[in-house]
Every structure is written in structure tokens, then in C-alpha cells.
Chains A and B, each alone.
Chain A
Amino acid sequence: MTAAPSSAGISRIFAEEYGRCVATLTRVLHDIDLAEEAVQDAVTVALTRWPAEGVPPNPGGWIVTTARRRALDRLRRDAVGRDKEARAVRETPAEQDEPEEEGPVRDDRLRLVFTCCHPALALPARVALTLRLLGGLSTPEIARAFLVPEATMAQRIVRAKNKIRAARIPYRVPRDADLPERLPGVLAVVYLVFTEGHATATRTDLAAEAIRLGRLLAELMPDEPEVLGLLALMLLTEARRPARTGPDGTRVLLADQDRTRWDRDLVREGLELVRRCLRRDRPGPYQVQAAINAVHASAPDAASTDWHQVVALHDQLLALAPSPTVALNRAVALAETEGPAAALAIVDDLAERLDRYHLLHAVRADLLRRLGRDDEARAALDAALARTDDPDDRALLEARRG
């Protein structure tokens, strides 16, 4: 036992161990709700003991052992649980008080990832369950992060857990053959958490949580290049956060950012991951987006950006995952290699499909200005302003309109 820990220290341990413990207990008890209850029971015990006795050397193992013992006690008392108890006892021979081994625990968490992110669950439900069960976030925390009422979020989680039980969503890592189909659903959950966190400066904790989940996936599936690509994409985007906001609190675009304020450690880690992906040579949408960010991260200033490389990567991204917004971003890069007229022709082609997207009009305005067509540029800025309520977007657009 170590020295008496602070309560903040204990909370951090719980958050870190929660997913691991729930995952293991779900395997033992065959039920996510029972597993959560058991872990919460064990946490309650820990809260009374650890401050006085110190944190045990293997806190996760301690929680799992205590939770399992508590759950079996509870099931024994509960006649309805007799069946489950029999199964649980049968499937955990002789390891009652042993700390969990790393191998099976790792598989447990991976099973839990694929259960929480099952395609039969709606994306918001997958996100909520993943943050709850793997991230160890409380329901009120998740509700606050997604700006929905607590009751709504609680309902969403209960419904998802109920469907897992009633429809028998399996607690299992998909076969290799099914992985290409199942993995994107998992990555989409993590990336959605990240983009939610990245969208507004006040919700950085979600971005941090997404990166934590991304690191977990990279640890659990080190051979899946898209998993590494997603982590790299998040790290390289997160690295720019300190430079994204100016001294007056307004947003600063990539081209105008003070690159000395980028987080060099995150950039280095992101670039290393992109290099690992390139060596695998099994490109996917997240890897290519990470590579685009890597090109920007490698340029000491906006003027020295390798735009030919950016265009080529957008071509690759369009081939892998065609979308009009990717085509728009490609046009922005193409303006730097082929000039604004070539880019404007592409943007005009996209105008119908992206009419409601303010950035289409903002990009058009910029290209028109560079072509000396100032009246049309001003009209395009007005069109962009008419399509966004976001104060940061509006401030940038109004500054450009003059």
C-alpha cells in the first residue's frame, strides 16, 4: 500500500480503471448493467478504505476482485440471479483473488468497444455508451458535453443497454473478415467525440477524451492503420489549438496562425504516426486526412506549404471517400498550385450541392477577390454571412468584408 492519496488522485484512478473493470466484469457476469453496478459497489468500498489504507499496488485488479465478489454476493441473495451466478462461477475457476492478467483484460476492453459501437445502435447512442462505459464519464458529464438534458442522455443510455441485452448484441471482437465493415463505426464514434470537442473552445475535455479513446484503440489494435491514422489526425489537429484563438478570443485561420504556438510534442507524435501509416501502405480516409495535416504541420509558415502534395492527397481522399466538402477543400489547395481561376471553376460546379454551406461562399469570395472581381466577392461574402450564426465565423467574414 502506498501513502494516503488525495481524493482527486482517487477519482483519476477510477476514471482510468473504469472501462477496464466494466469490460472484465461484463465478461464474467454476462450483463453490462450488473457489471457497472458491481464496479460502482467496489468504488464505494475503495472510497472508504483507500484514503486511510492507501491505494493498493494494482488498483484495477483490486476493483475487479472486489466487484466480482460483491456481484456474486448480490446474485446469491437474488433468487432470479441463480442462473447467472452458476454461469459466472463456472466460467471463473480458481482465479478469484488473482489480479487480472493483461492479455484477457485487453481483449475484454476491445470486446466492449465493439459492443458499444455496434452498427445496430444509433450513432448518438454509441457515442454515449462509449463515453460512459469505456471513458468512465458520468451520465451528467456526457449530457453537459453534448448540451442535452440529463434525463434525455440517461434515457439514451438505458435504451441502448436494454437493446444490447434484449437483441443480444454480442460481446465479441468481430472476425478479421468482418473488421473492415465494423471498424469504421468504431472510429466514427471517436472522431465525432473529437470534432464535438474541437468545435468550441469550451469543450476541450471532449477532445482530450477522444484522444484518450484513440490512444486506447491504437493500443488495442496496433495493426490497423486507420486506427493509427485517426489518432494522428486528432493529435495534429489538437496541436494547433493554442494558435487557433487570437489574443482577442476570436478564431485564427490556419494560414494566419502563429506556428510557434503549435504544440511541438503533439506534432512530433502525430508525424511519427503518419510515417508508420505510410510504411504500412494501406491508406484509408483517416490516414489521408492525417497526411494532409502532416503537410501543414511540416511547413514552418503558410507560404512554404507544399500545396502540390496537399492537392495530391485530396485527390486520394476523393477517390477513397468522395464528398463535396472534400472537393471544396481540394479547390482551396488547387488555387495555390493552378491559380484562383481554375479553383473558381470547381467551386462554381459545387455551388448547387453546397449552397447552404457558408464556407463555399467564403471560399468563392476569396477566389473572386484574388481575380479582382470585387463586387462579386462582396456579394459572396454576404451570401456566406447569411448562412452562419456562429459568432467566430461571422467575425472573420465581417473583417474580410471591411
Chain B
Amino acid sequence: MAHYLLSVYQPAEGEPPSDAELQEIMGRVAQLQQDMQDAGVWVFSGGLEAPDTATVLAQGGDDVLVTDGPFVELKEYLGGLTIIAAPDLDAALHWGRRSTEAIGLPIEVRPFQWSP
């Protein structure tokens, strides 16, 4: 069994969904997570806070530098992620498709090189 990361890409600008829309989306996401659990593929899911809440740590000489803000400013940022265990890419793409249908945002499906 391999592990795949399903990342939600969110536009940095533009109109966010209304509360009613958001509630609908969250309902679909909860149902999807339930379906993933029932299918035995679900490992972890989470939604992330906005990128301006991020802090970057990087080694600079002997010190570790602390920087306020995301690593790079992009037009789209990582809004949330799901990790699934799936036998192959077709299975992973199936759940990726379900995710983009539930959330309405692009989903990147990427295999893990290794996992403990």
C-alpha cells in the first residue's frame, strides 16, 4: 500500500465562499472523509489557517532565522490536505476526483516517496 498526499489549492485573491456555501462544502467534506474511512483509505485530513499565519525557520550560519509569513507568496496556496493509503494511482485519483467535486478547488495528488 502506498501513501498519497491530496493537496487543496486555494486562490489567494478573489471572493471567498459565503457562510452558507462554506457550510455546504464542509458537509460534503465530512461525508467524503466518512467514505474514505469506510473504504479504509483515510489516514489524515486537515484544513490550514491562512498563509499569513505561517512562520518560516531556516538555517543561516550558526543561527536559525525566524521569518514572519509564508515561505513564498503565491497566487494559490496550500489550503488543506488529506493523506490516504491506496494501492495505486488509479485508486488515489478516484479519491482526488471525489475531493475536487466536494470542495470545488483543484486537488494535487502526489505520491509519498517513503513513509514510516
Contact = CB atoms under 8 A, between A and B. Distances in A.
Interface of A: 118, 120, 166-170, 172, 174
Interface in B84-105: 87-90, 92-93
A227 B6 CA distance: 34
A120 B88 contact: no
A166 B113 contact: yes
A170 B90 contact: yes
B38 to A, nearest CB: 20
B2 interface: yes
A168 B2 contact: yes
Nearest to A174: B90
Given A120-B89, A166-B113, 16 more contacts: A118-B89, A166-B111, A167-B89, A167-B92, A167-B110, A168-B88, A168-B89, A169-B88, A169-B89, A169-B90, A170-B88, A170-B89, A170-B90, A172-B88, A172-B90, A174-B90
A363 B26 CA distance: 53
Contacts, number: 23
A254 to B, nearest CB: 42
Interface residues of B, number: 10
A339 to B, nearest CB: 48
A120 B88 CA distance: 12
B111 A168 contact: yes
B87 to A, nearest CB: 8
A170 B2 CA distance: 12
A317 B40 CA distance: 43
A168 B88 CA distance: 5
Contacts of A120: 89, 93
Interface string B33-47: 000000000000000
Contacts of B92: 167
A243 B33 CA distance: 61
Nearest to B112: A166
Contacts of A169: 88-90
A157 B78 CA distance: 30
B98 to A, nearest CB: 15
In this complex, the member of A166, A168, A170, A174 whose beta carbon has the largest number of chain B beta carbons within 10 angstroms is: A168
21 contacts: A118-B89, A120-B89, A166-B111, A166-B113, A167-B89, A167-B92, A167-B110, A167-B111, A168-B87, A168-B88, A168-B89, A168-B111, A169-B88, A169-B89, A169-B90, A170-B88, A170-B89, A170-B90, A172-B88, A172-B90, A174-B90
A120 to B, nearest CB: 6
B25 to A, nearest CB: 25
A120 B90 CA distance: 9
Nearest to B1: A168
